């Protein structure tokens, strides 16, 4: 039987999001972050095993976007960084719904579809705590746990190795999976097969076409073997 999940999606203030997307205007970066968040919330809400989606933010713009997309919102003004924000959110949500699993999903997984998320959560249901690493094999894109007390403040550069060392089971998601391909740069976004992008992100690409032609596979594509 597939366990029910609450999916938590951290969202930094949209005005400060996607700062590594060189060549984009501040408005284009903000709207890209908003588009990816909108798509991911919609896709997570469509996963049968996900009981609710909670966006973790104190940003008014991200809050409005999350609520309009059908997610709940929680955020702590006293939190001093991503790890504090996530820890507070996990404790609050876990206390309110102790029978559900907790899945932390990064908000910039532009290619991760409903089926990708459903498959990963079905695998994670077998473990007390589990992790999915990014395409570089160093960062974390998805984290699951049963008890908020199991969370460790390792999010950030090099987090994957620290979570593994703390007993998080690597789910073994394929290197080519969109769940392993977070978007930090324009090149990351353009390396994703267009059909995997959600509708809001596709609309963003139509409105803000990145400058310059695409010139063959990016280093990320060569690494993960994407088309």
Tell me the pLDDT tens digit for each residue of 92-101: 999 887 889 9
Q: Where are the beta strands (DSSP E) in 16-139?
A: 50-56, 72-74, 101-105, 129-133
Write down the pLDDT at residue 98: 81
Q: What is the pLDDT of residue 126?
A: 94
User: Mean pLDDT across the stretch 76-81?
Assistant: 80
Instruction: Kindly state the percentage of the chain with pLDDT values over 70.
Output: 91
* Residue 149, C-beta contacts closer than 8 angstroms, at least 6 positions apart: none
User: Which pLDDT tens digit goes with each residue over 10-26?
Assistant: 999 999 999 999 889 99
pLDDT above 60 for 64: yes
Distance CA 35, CA 31 (A): 6
Averaged pLDDT, 204-213: 77
Helix (H, G, I), strand (E, B) or coil at 170: strand
Rounded Cα–Cα distance for residues 47 and 56 (Å): 19
Mean pLDDT of the region 55-76: 96
Determine the pLDDT at residue 1.
41
Residue 74, CA distances (Å) to 28, 59, 112 in order: 26, 10, 23
pLDDT tier for residue 174 given thresholds of 50, 70 and 90: very high
Does the pLDDT value for residue 214 go beyond 60? no
Cβ–Cβ < 8 Å for 139, 133:
yes
> Is the model's pLDDT at 224 over the cut of 70?
no
Q: What is the rounded distance in angstroms from the CA atom of residue 163 to the CA atom of residue 171?
A: 12
- β-strand 129-133 against 140-145: which pairing, if any? antiparallel
Over residues 22-60, the pLDDT tens digits come to 889 999 999 999 999 999 999 999 999 999 999 999 999
């Amino acid at each position: 039987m597939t366990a029910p999940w609450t999916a938590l999606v951290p969202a930094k203030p949209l005005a400060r999001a996607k700062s590594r997307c060189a060549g984009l205007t501040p408005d284009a970066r903000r709207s890209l972050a908003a588009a990816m968040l909108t798509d991911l919330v919609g896709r997570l809400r469509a996963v049968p095993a996900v009981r609710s989606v909670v966006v973790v933010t104190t940003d008014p713009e991200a809050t409005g976007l999350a609520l309009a997309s059908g997610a709940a919102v929680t955020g702590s003004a006293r939190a001093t960084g991503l790890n504090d924000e996530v820890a507070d959110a996990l404790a609050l949500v876990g206390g309110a719904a102790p029978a559900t699993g907790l899945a932390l999903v990064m908000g910039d997984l532009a290619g991760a579809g409903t089926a990708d998320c459903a498959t990963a959560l079905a695998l994670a249901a077998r473990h007390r705590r589990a992790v999915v690493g990014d395409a570089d094999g160093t960062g974390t894109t998805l984290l699951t746990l049963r008890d908020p007390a199991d969370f460790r403040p390792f999010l950030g550069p090099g987090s994957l190795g620290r979570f593994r060392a703390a007993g998080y089971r690597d789910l073994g998601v394929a290197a080519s999976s969109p769940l392993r391909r977070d978007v930090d740069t324009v090149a990351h976004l353009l390396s994703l097969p267009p059909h995997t992008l959600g509708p809001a992100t596709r609309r963003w690409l139509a409105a803000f076409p990145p400058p310059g032609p695409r010139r063959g596979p990016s280093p990320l594509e060569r690494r993960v073997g994407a088309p």
